[in-house]
Amino acid sequence: MTGDLHGNTTHAVDLLRVAQRQECAKMFVLGDFGAWEHTADGRRYFDVVDRVARKHRVRVYFLDGNHDKSSLLRERYGTDLDDEGFLVCRNHIRYAPRGHRWVWEGTRFAAFGGAYSVDKAWRLAAEALRARKAERRSQFGSRRERQTEGTLWFPEEQMTDAECDELLAADSSSVDVLLTHDKPRAAAPEWNRKDLPECLPNQDRIQRITDTLRPRLLLHGHLHFRYTDQVGATRVEGLGADPEASHPQDYASTDSWLVLPLPYLPEVGADREIA
């Protein structure tokens, strides 16, 4: 299980090597994977991760973060599903859409991506600047791509209340492990830069999902900070991000990943199961 990669190829390759050393056949990224295939760099990143994952015999799974263009994932891969219901993005890369459920080694999982971007204003301003530059170039006969909207900030970045209602209405049965990008509202990390009022509605949705599905374990990214908390009967593990996006001074690369042995059996020693 890994926190945000943000399209950082070096960090992604390092974590695939970790997965191989730890004898993990799967690596699951908890959002902000780097799904930017509307750009050439984003497509190259997917290709490199796929190639290295194949080399190390690891399959990469991810859910969407606020900095993943999930609408494009659904548009491009929505009809290409594997036998577990994941969207097949490459031979060794799979996407778990919001509300997706599956079972690994007898352990019931559910994935709910999305969050609010605290840098939304900056991203929208950067898109507007690109649009103005593209317009000026067009006046001089440039034929370069003029599309700028939805290239840095993605309107689908977080769940709506209606989407949350619909997903829970479709299936509200309990799970063992809940994977999210955002944290549940009640979780209280010692360091949190995602505490603006605008961040709270999506945290409330994740809290509602947690209360409904009653997981024994919840893993998430987004905060770029490693911590452990207990929210009712749910153990919460927040994972760190790639080094370039991590701000705490005592950050270590091991903050960005953990090994989840399967089946997940907390009643026989959860604290020793997660390393």
Rounded to whole angstroms, how far apart are CA atoms 126 and 259? 38
- pLDDT score recorded for residue 141: 62
> Taking the model in full, what pTM does it have?
0.93
CB 214 within 8 A of CB 174: yes
Rounded to whole angstroms, how far apart are CA atoms 107 and 103? 5
268 pLDDT higher than 60: no
Cis status, amide bond into 197, omega within 30 of 0: no
147-167: pLDDT as tens digits: 678 999 999 999 999 999 999
Backbone angles phi, psi at 56, to 5 degrees: -90, 5
- pLDDT score recorded for residue 135: 76
CB 59 within 8 A of CB 92: yes
Domains and CATH numbers, the chain: 9-117+153-273 (3.30.750.180)
2, 106, 167 from 22: Cα distances, Å: 13, 21, 34
273 pLDDT higher than 60: no
Taking residues 200-225, report their average pLDDT. Answer: 98
